[in-house]
Amino acid sequence: SRDWDYGTMPTCDEPTKPSTEQYTYTFAGWSPEVVLVSGDATYTATYTSTLRQYTITFLDEDGSILSSRDWDYGTMPTCDEPTKPDTEQYTYTFAGWSPEIVAVTGNATYTATYASTVRKYTVTFLDEDGTTLSAQDWEYGTMPTCDEPIKPADAQYTYTFAGWTPTIVAVTADATYIATYNKTVNKYTITATAENGTVQGTGTYDYGTVVELTAVANDGYKFDMWSDDVTDNPRTVTVTENMAFTALFVLNGTTGIEDIHATEPAEKVLMDGILYILRDGKTYNVMGVEVGK
Protein backbone atom coordinates (compact mmCIF):
# COMPACT_ATOMS: atom_id res chain seq x y z
CA SER A 1 0.00 0.00 0.00
CA ARG A 2 1.57 3.28 -1.10
CA ASP A 3 0.73 6.64 -2.72
CA TRP A 4 0.93 6.99 -6.50
CA ASP A 5 0.75 10.22 -8.57
CA TYR A 6 -2.47 10.89 -10.39
CA GLY A 7 -2.35 9.43 -13.84
CA THR A 8 0.42 6.97 -13.16
CA MET A 9 0.05 3.17 -13.53
CA PRO A 10 0.50 1.48 -10.16
CA THR A 11 2.45 -1.78 -10.03
CA CYS A 12 3.20 -4.55 -7.52
CA ASP A 13 5.44 -7.59 -7.61
CA GLU A 14 3.49 -10.73 -8.45
CA PRO A 15 2.65 -12.55 -5.24
CA THR A 16 2.83 -16.35 -4.76
CA LYS A 17 0.45 -18.68 -3.02
CA PRO A 18 1.93 -21.78 -1.30
CA SER A 19 0.87 -25.11 -2.72
CA THR A 20 -1.25 -27.46 -0.66
CA GLU A 21 -1.26 -31.25 -0.84
CA GLN A 22 -4.19 -30.93 -3.25
CA TYR A 23 -3.35 -27.91 -5.41
CA THR A 24 -0.55 -25.79 -6.87
CA TYR A 25 -1.31 -22.08 -7.46
CA THR A 26 -0.15 -19.60 -10.11
CA PHE A 27 -0.77 -15.84 -10.04
CA ALA A 28 -3.63 -14.98 -12.41
CA GLY A 29 -3.76 -11.17 -12.10
CA TRP A 30 -5.39 -8.41 -10.06
CA SER A 31 -9.01 -7.89 -9.44
CA PRO A 32 -10.20 -5.45 -10.62
CA GLU A 33 -7.86 -4.90 -13.51
CA VAL A 34 -5.22 -2.24 -12.70
CA VAL A 35 -5.85 1.20 -14.32
CA LEU A 36 -4.22 4.64 -14.19
CA VAL A 37 -4.50 6.33 -10.82
CA SER A 38 -7.52 8.64 -10.59
CA GLY A 39 -8.25 8.12 -6.96
CA ASP A 40 -7.69 5.72 -4.08
CA ALA A 41 -7.98 2.07 -5.24
CA THR A 42 -7.56 -1.49 -3.94
CA TYR A 43 -6.54 -4.43 -6.05
CA THR A 44 -6.72 -8.06 -4.93
CA ALA A 45 -4.46 -10.82 -6.25
CA THR A 46 -6.17 -13.78 -7.95
CA TYR A 47 -4.76 -17.26 -8.57
CA THR A 48 -5.49 -20.26 -10.78
CA SER A 49 -5.31 -23.63 -9.09
CA THR A 50 -4.02 -26.89 -10.58
CA LEU A 51 -4.82 -30.25 -9.04
CA ARG A 52 -1.60 -31.79 -7.89
CA GLN A 53 -0.43 -35.21 -9.09
CA TYR A 54 1.57 -37.83 -7.23
CA THR A 55 3.53 -40.84 -8.36
CA ILE A 56 1.89 -44.14 -7.47
CA THR A 57 4.07 -47.25 -7.89
CA PHE A 58 2.83 -50.83 -7.92
CA LEU A 59 5.45 -53.51 -7.27
CA ASP A 60 5.26 -57.26 -7.67
CA GLU A 61 6.16 -59.41 -4.67
CA ASP A 62 9.74 -59.74 -5.92
CA GLY A 63 10.16 -55.95 -6.16
CA SER A 64 9.78 -55.66 -9.92
CA ILE A 65 7.76 -52.64 -11.09
CA LEU A 66 4.31 -53.42 -12.42
CA SER A 67 3.18 -49.79 -12.85
CA SER A 68 4.55 -46.36 -11.98
CA ARG A 69 2.64 -43.24 -13.05
CA ASP A 70 1.23 -39.94 -11.80
CA TRP A 71 -2.31 -39.81 -10.43
CA ASP A 72 -4.44 -36.76 -9.56
CA TYR A 73 -4.91 -35.96 -5.91
CA GLY A 74 -8.03 -37.65 -4.53
CA THR A 75 -8.29 -40.27 -7.26
CA MET A 76 -8.19 -44.00 -6.50
CA PRO A 77 -5.18 -45.61 -8.24
CA THR A 78 -5.52 -49.02 -9.86
CA CYS A 79 -3.32 -51.68 -11.36
CA ASP A 80 -4.10 -54.91 -13.21
CA GLU A 81 -3.88 -57.90 -10.89
CA PRO A 82 -0.54 -59.63 -11.39
CA THR A 83 0.02 -63.38 -11.46
CA LYS A 84 2.73 -65.45 -9.84
CA PRO A 85 3.86 -68.61 -11.65
CA ASP A 86 3.24 -71.88 -9.86
CA THR A 87 6.17 -73.85 -8.50
CA GLU A 88 6.35 -77.61 -8.02
CA GLN A 89 5.33 -77.01 -4.42
CA TYR A 90 2.76 -74.19 -4.57
CA THR A 91 0.04 -72.58 -6.64
CA TYR A 92 -0.44 -68.84 -6.09
CA THR A 93 -3.47 -66.56 -6.25
CA PHE A 94 -3.40 -62.78 -6.00
CA ALA A 95 -4.39 -61.74 -2.46
CA GLY A 96 -4.34 -57.93 -2.72
CA TRP A 97 -2.00 -54.97 -2.24
CA SER A 98 0.02 -54.02 0.79
CA PRO A 99 -0.76 -51.55 2.21
CA GLU A 100 -4.43 -51.32 1.24
CA ILE A 101 -4.99 -48.85 -1.60
CA VAL A 102 -6.41 -45.45 -0.63
CA ALA A 103 -7.22 -42.25 -2.55
CA VAL A 104 -4.13 -40.33 -3.66
CA THR A 105 -2.80 -37.80 -1.16
CA GLY A 106 0.89 -38.20 -1.87
CA ASN A 107 3.47 -40.44 -3.47
CA ALA A 108 2.79 -44.07 -2.56
CA THR A 109 4.01 -47.58 -3.23
CA TYR A 110 1.92 -50.73 -3.14
CA THR A 111 3.26 -54.28 -3.23
CA ALA A 112 1.38 -57.32 -4.51
CA THR A 113 0.70 -60.16 -2.07
CA TYR A 114 -0.25 -63.74 -2.88
CA ALA A 115 -1.96 -66.63 -1.14
CA SER A 116 -0.17 -69.95 -1.60
CA THR A 117 -1.72 -73.41 -1.77
CA VAL A 118 0.34 -76.58 -1.49
CA ARG A 119 0.07 -78.50 -4.76
CA LYS A 120 -1.16 -82.07 -4.89
CA TYR A 121 0.04 -84.88 -7.10
CA THR A 122 -1.42 -88.27 -7.98
CA VAL A 123 0.48 -91.20 -6.52
CA THR A 124 -0.48 -94.65 -7.83
CA PHE A 125 0.39 -97.96 -6.22
CA LEU A 126 0.21 -101.02 -8.47
CA ASP A 127 0.39 -104.68 -7.61
CA GLU A 128 2.99 -106.79 -9.36
CA ASP A 129 0.47 -107.81 -12.03
CA GLY A 130 -0.44 -104.20 -12.80
CA THR A 131 -3.72 -104.00 -10.90
CA THR A 132 -4.27 -100.71 -9.08
CA LEU A 133 -4.03 -100.91 -5.30
CA SER A 134 -4.36 -97.18 -4.63
CA ALA A 135 -4.50 -93.97 -6.67
CA GLN A 136 -5.00 -90.72 -4.80
CA ASP A 137 -3.72 -87.15 -4.55
CA TRP A 138 -1.03 -86.33 -1.98
CA GLU A 139 0.29 -82.90 -0.98
CA TYR A 140 3.77 -81.90 -2.06
CA GLY A 141 6.36 -82.99 0.48
CA THR A 142 4.22 -85.67 2.13
CA MET A 143 5.28 -89.31 2.23
CA PRO A 144 2.68 -91.45 0.43
CA THR A 145 1.71 -94.81 1.87
CA CYS A 146 -0.24 -97.88 0.86
CA ASP A 147 -1.25 -101.00 2.77
CA GLU A 148 1.09 -103.87 2.03
CA PRO A 149 -0.50 -106.14 -0.56
CA ILE A 150 -0.64 -109.92 -0.33
CA LYS A 151 0.20 -112.28 -3.16
CA PRO A 152 -1.44 -115.69 -2.71
CA ALA A 153 0.85 -118.69 -2.66
CA ASP A 154 0.75 -121.04 -5.62
CA ALA A 155 1.79 -124.66 -5.82
CA GLN A 156 5.44 -123.77 -6.40
CA TYR A 157 6.04 -120.64 -4.30
CA THR A 158 5.04 -118.78 -1.15
CA TYR A 159 5.31 -114.98 -1.52
CA THR A 160 6.15 -112.26 0.99
CA PHE A 161 5.92 -108.54 0.31
CA ALA A 162 9.42 -107.14 -0.34
CA GLY A 163 8.72 -103.44 -0.86
CA TRP A 164 7.97 -100.92 -3.62
CA THR A 165 9.91 -100.10 -6.73
CA PRO A 166 11.18 -97.47 -7.03
CA THR A 167 11.76 -96.66 -3.37
CA ILE A 168 9.03 -94.36 -2.04
CA VAL A 169 10.11 -90.72 -1.63
CA ALA A 170 8.33 -87.55 -0.54
CA VAL A 171 5.90 -86.24 -3.16
CA THR A 172 7.28 -83.79 -5.71
CA ALA A 173 5.35 -84.91 -8.81
CA ASP A 174 2.99 -87.62 -10.05
CA ALA A 175 4.50 -91.02 -9.29
CA THR A 176 3.82 -94.74 -9.66
CA TYR A 177 5.10 -97.48 -7.36
CA ILE A 178 4.93 -101.22 -8.06
CA ALA A 179 4.80 -103.94 -5.40
CA THR A 180 7.61 -106.49 -5.34
CA TYR A 181 7.68 -109.87 -3.62
CA ASN A 182 10.22 -112.37 -2.35
CA LYS A 183 9.38 -115.95 -3.21
CA THR A 184 10.21 -119.12 -1.36
CA VAL A 185 9.97 -122.53 -2.99
CA ASN A 186 7.29 -124.61 -1.29
CA LYS A 187 8.28 -127.91 0.30
CA TYR A 188 6.16 -131.03 0.15
CA THR A 189 6.32 -134.36 1.94
CA ILE A 190 6.56 -137.71 0.18
CA THR A 191 5.33 -140.58 2.35
CA ALA A 192 4.99 -144.27 1.60
CA THR A 193 3.58 -147.31 3.32
CA ALA A 194 4.59 -150.87 2.71
CA GLU A 195 3.58 -154.20 4.18
CA ASN A 196 6.23 -156.88 3.92
CA GLY A 197 8.83 -154.36 2.75
CA THR A 198 10.08 -150.79 2.95
CA VAL A 199 10.29 -147.77 0.64
CA GLN A 200 13.41 -145.68 0.21
CA GLY A 201 13.38 -142.03 -0.96
CA THR A 202 10.60 -140.61 1.16
CA GLY A 203 11.06 -137.21 2.85
CA THR A 204 10.46 -133.50 2.37
CA TYR A 205 11.49 -131.89 -0.93
CA ASP A 206 11.30 -128.59 -2.79
CA TYR A 207 8.58 -128.21 -5.40
CA GLY A 208 9.77 -129.60 -8.74
CA THR A 209 12.31 -132.02 -7.26
CA VAL A 210 12.50 -135.34 -9.08
CA VAL A 211 12.48 -138.06 -6.43
CA GLU A 212 13.34 -141.71 -6.90
CA LEU A 213 11.32 -144.15 -4.78
CA THR A 214 12.59 -147.70 -4.34
CA ALA A 215 10.48 -150.51 -2.89
CA VAL A 216 12.62 -153.03 -0.97
CA ALA A 217 10.93 -156.35 -0.16
CA ASN A 218 11.38 -158.23 3.11
CA ASP A 219 12.86 -161.73 2.99
CA GLY A 220 10.48 -164.17 1.31
CA TYR A 221 8.63 -161.41 -0.57
CA LYS A 222 9.02 -159.71 -3.87
CA PHE A 223 7.80 -156.32 -5.14
CA ASP A 224 4.65 -156.57 -7.18
CA MET A 225 3.42 -153.02 -7.92
CA TRP A 226 2.50 -149.62 -6.48
CA SER A 227 -1.04 -148.89 -5.38
CA ASP A 228 -1.53 -146.52 -8.34
CA ASP A 229 -0.83 -149.45 -10.72
CA VAL A 230 2.72 -148.33 -11.54
CA THR A 231 5.04 -151.34 -11.76
CA ASP A 232 8.36 -149.51 -12.16
CA ASN A 233 10.78 -150.04 -9.29
CA PRO A 234 12.52 -147.82 -8.66
CA ARG A 235 10.09 -145.18 -9.88
CA THR A 236 10.54 -141.42 -10.23
CA VAL A 237 8.00 -138.78 -9.28
CA THR A 238 8.10 -135.00 -9.64
CA VAL A 239 7.15 -133.22 -6.41
CA THR A 240 4.19 -130.87 -6.91
CA GLU A 241 2.21 -131.54 -3.70
CA ASN A 242 2.17 -133.76 -0.65
CA MET A 243 2.19 -137.28 -2.07
CA ALA A 244 1.54 -140.70 -0.53
CA PHE A 245 2.37 -144.09 -2.06
CA THR A 246 1.83 -147.69 -1.09
CA ALA A 247 4.22 -150.40 -2.19
CA LEU A 248 2.64 -153.86 -2.63
CA PHE A 249 4.55 -157.09 -2.15
CA VAL A 250 3.68 -160.76 -2.72
CA LEU A 251 5.29 -163.95 -1.45
CA ASN A 252 7.98 -165.38 -3.60
CA GLY A 253 6.55 -168.03 -5.87
CA THR A 254 3.06 -166.51 -6.10
CA THR A 255 1.51 -164.60 -8.95
CA GLY A 256 1.03 -160.87 -8.84
CA ILE A 257 -2.17 -158.98 -8.18
CA GLU A 258 -2.88 -158.56 -11.83
CA ASP A 259 -3.00 -162.36 -12.21
CA ILE A 260 -5.35 -163.07 -9.30
CA HIS A 261 -8.74 -164.17 -10.63
CA ALA A 262 -7.73 -162.83 -14.03
CA THR A 263 -10.53 -164.75 -15.69
CA GLU A 264 -13.22 -163.25 -13.48
CA PRO A 265 -14.25 -159.59 -12.88
CA ALA A 266 -12.49 -158.31 -9.75
CA GLU A 267 -12.18 -154.94 -7.98
CA LYS A 268 -9.11 -153.73 -6.11
CA VAL A 269 -9.63 -151.82 -2.85
CA LEU A 270 -6.94 -150.15 -0.67
CA MET A 271 -7.87 -150.24 3.00
CA ASP A 272 -5.51 -148.97 5.72
CA GLY A 273 -2.63 -149.21 3.25
CA ILE A 274 -3.37 -152.86 2.38
CA LEU A 275 -4.69 -153.90 -1.01
CA TYR A 276 -7.63 -156.30 -1.18
CA ILE A 277 -9.47 -157.96 -4.08
CA LEU A 278 -13.26 -157.91 -4.19
CA ARG A 279 -15.04 -160.53 -6.27
CA ASP A 280 -18.54 -161.90 -6.09
CA GLY A 281 -19.11 -160.21 -2.73
CA LYS A 282 -16.03 -161.82 -1.18
CA THR A 283 -12.76 -160.22 -0.10
CA TYR A 284 -9.35 -161.70 -0.88
CA ASN A 285 -5.84 -160.63 0.04
CA VAL A 286 -3.12 -160.25 -2.57
CA MET A 287 -2.29 -163.90 -2.09
CA GLY A 288 -5.78 -164.86 -3.29
CA VAL A 289 -6.84 -166.05 0.16
CA GLU A 290 -10.33 -165.07 1.24
CA VAL A 291 -10.33 -162.88 4.33
CA GLY A 292 -12.95 -161.58 6.71
CA LYS A 293 -14.43 -164.95 7.66
Of residues 151 and 257, the one with the higher pLDDT is 151
What pLDDT digit, counting tens, does each position of 65-103 carry? 999 999 999 999 999 999 999 999 999 999 999 999 999
Q: What is the mean pLDDT of the chain?
A: 92
| Mean per-residue pLDDT, 160-168 | 98
Q: Which phi and psi angles does 164 have, rounded to 5°?
A: -115, 145
CB of 179 closer than 8 Å to CB of 161: yes
**Which pairing describes strands 282-284 and 290-291: parallel, antiparallel, or unpaired?**
antiparallel
3-state class of 255 per DSSP?
A: coil
Please count the helices (runs of H) and the strands (runs of E) in the chain: 0, 21
Q: What is the DSSP letter of 187?
A: E
What pLDDT digit, counting tens, does each position of 211-240 carry? 999 999 999 999 999 999 999 999 999 999
